[in-house]
Amino acid sequence: MTESADLMFSVASSDLEALEAQVLVLGAYSTEQGPQLAEHSLDSKTAEGLQAILKDMGVTGSADQLTRLPGFEGTATDVVAIIGLGAPTENPQDQLNTFRLAAGSAVQQLAGFAEIAIDFRADSVEAVAAIAEGAAFGAFVDTQLRTKNLEEVKAPVESVVIISDVETSQATPALTRALILGQAVDSTRRLVNTPPSHLYPDSFAQKAQERVADLTDVSVKIFDEKKLAKEGFGGILGVGQGSVRPPRLVEVKYSPKKAKKSVALVGKGITFDTGGISLKPANSMIPMKSDMAGAATVLNAVAAAAELELPVEVTAYLCIAENMPSGSAIRPEDVLVMRGGTTVEVLNTDAEGRLVMADGLAYASESNPDFILDVATLTGAQMVALGTRYAAVMGEETTRNKVVEASLEAGEDFWAMPLPEHMRSELKSPVADVKNMGDSRMGGMLIAGLFLEEFVGEKNGKKIPWAHLDIAGPSFNEGSAHGFTPKEATGASLATVVKFLENLV
């Protein structure tokens, strides 16, 4: 169950005069010689006339630039829009990503029109898929809790026709997959955008249950505070004990009958992060409703896997708590006993995400999965290192590289980072097995990764293959919309996680 509007896809031949759409979207590259029309289905005379006026119309071909023109002879639409594709590339994967981003940007900017057609002359199923994915990600509008002036909010595009000679029967699986991914990203964004007054541990758990209620082979188990205490989840309980709204652990399991692999997904679900006793500055709290993006991502990755009917057993562990300061909150120098018995000295209560994730990783390891991925808005240091659009991935080298490979195919930006052995000693504590901070501020993202690794279990005498995805930067966009990325929640990493699962089979 999702709250997103319906979106329809279809493919059509290059007969533009037969189109039933309001807007025809064409592409233009940015070259040293000026803007250059991309491949299209226009007749040569019309194309030459359009090419001749691009520069005069202010078209540059730069990414995200959308120029609207009145419809003209040879097309059946009232409007022709030129979307910038950026610099041309000869790399096939980069070309697909160009199509994905441009389609998403055009659909996002053309909100208010119900039907559009995109003509990049998609000559393969892969190209159709990339355009459809971008369009699905771009067709997103969230009024959130506003009740006034809703007429000013433009409705998302409802129908997208992709101009291609690919047969409908060949394109249909790709279009279906794009819709499933779009729904999963949509649901992730809406959860992350929900304010903490409305999304807290118990309500998040209920929304998770509702999200997968109609899916086949999916089960849900919710651990309340009593069960968490009985089962020894000291990290989740410790972080949540300062709030009047107690924590939750939600286990969402997709169990297809012919599963070939098993994957555990652990997600950070801090529904609001004040920093606890180690209180954040006021301005730093503003985007902290997004600190549960990892849990929203893994929830929707399981939903997508079920809808795609992947032959992979996928279990998501949503580690949910609200980090608040109060008389009952954990203090710096407290020691927590985590799931599995490891003791942790807490030196900074604002390094709380790794505490809930430690419980989740230890619990996930007990099921002996073939792989573990954890997804978390874990560190500000991630943004210091990589900015706001790149995510970091750390962990066992082979698994880490599989994530990077999946991200390239999915069109998302991940950068492989190390887990330096020489930094591990910084986690030594004089009073516990490990502490939740390093000895200095340097390399904070890597220290967090090393901490999490302590809680990854073994299978057949070896560490379970594991990767840690730190999505602190790209999970929430405080700047302007770009590509298929809206303001606020982005859904970043969902497509990469799903592609990782698909690549296993």
Q: Which residues are annotated as a binding site for Mn(2+)?
A: 268, 273, 291, 350, 352
Give the CA dihedral 30, 182, 505, 360, nearest 10 degrees: 110
Residue 290 phi/psi, 5-degree rounding, is: -90, 5
**What is d(CA 500, CA 505) in angstroms, rounded to the nearest whole number?**
9
**What is d(CA 289, CA 273) in angstroms, rounded to the nearest whole number?**
7
- 451 contacts 427 by C-beta, under 8 angstroms: yes
**What is d(CA 444, CA 498) in angstroms, rounded to the nearest whole number?**
28
CA 359 to chain centre: 22
**What is d(CA 234, CA 259) in angstroms, rounded to the nearest whole number?**
32
Give, for 408, the enclosing helix (H) or strand (E). Answer: helix 397-410
Instruction: Take residue 161 and report the two structure tokens written for it.
Output: 């026709």
Cβ neighbourhood burial of 88 (10 Å; 0-12, 13-18, 19+): middle
Instruction: Take residue 285 and report the two structure tokens written for it.
Output: 């709290």
Instruction: Take residue 79 and report the two structure tokens written for it.
Output: 């409007």
Handedness of CA 449, 451, 457, 463 (dihedral sign): positive
Cβ contacts of 107 within 8 Å, gap of 6 or more:
116, 134, 135, 138, 139, 156, 157, 160, 484
Place of tokens 């995200």: 64
Active site residues: 280, 354
Give, for 466, the enclosing helix (H) or strand (E). Answer: strand 466-470
Q: Where are the beta strands (DSSP E) in 377-465?
A: 391-395, 414-416, 434-435, 458-459, 462-463
